[in-house]
């Protein structure tokens, strides 16, 4: 695991925690599920480029699918 993938994982994990808290408080399912996915997927994806692409897609999902 490289340093860049570790830092991207921390970034997407913290963003996911914010989405999950927001989704739980507002009772919005999509931000909550997106937040959970953002917190979990860095454990399974080890390629840095794929990590950034999937993380950006999951972070943008609540804004695209309103």
pLDDT, tens digit (0-9, with 9 covering 90-100), for 4-53:
999 999 999 999 999 999 999 999 999 999 999 999 999 999 899 999 99
User: What pTM, to 2 d.p., does this model score?
Assistant: 0.90
d(CA 45, CA 25): 29
pLDDT of residue 66: 81
d(CA 44, CA 61): 19
Are 15 and 59 in contact, with CB atoms under 8 Å apart?
yes
Give burial (CB, 10 Å; 0-12/13-18/19+) of 1. exposed
Confidence check: pLDDT of 1 > 80: no
Are 7 and 41 in contact, with CB atoms under 8 Å apart?
no
């Amino acid at each position: 695991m490289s340093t860049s993938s570790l830092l991207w994982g921390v970034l997407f994990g913290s963003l996911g925690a914010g989405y999950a808290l927001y989704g739980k408080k507002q009772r919005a399912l999509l931000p909550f599920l997106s937040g959970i996915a953002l917190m979990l997927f860095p454990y399974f994806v080890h390629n840095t480029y794929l990590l950034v692409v999937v993380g950006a897609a999951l972070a943008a999902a609540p804004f695209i699918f309103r």
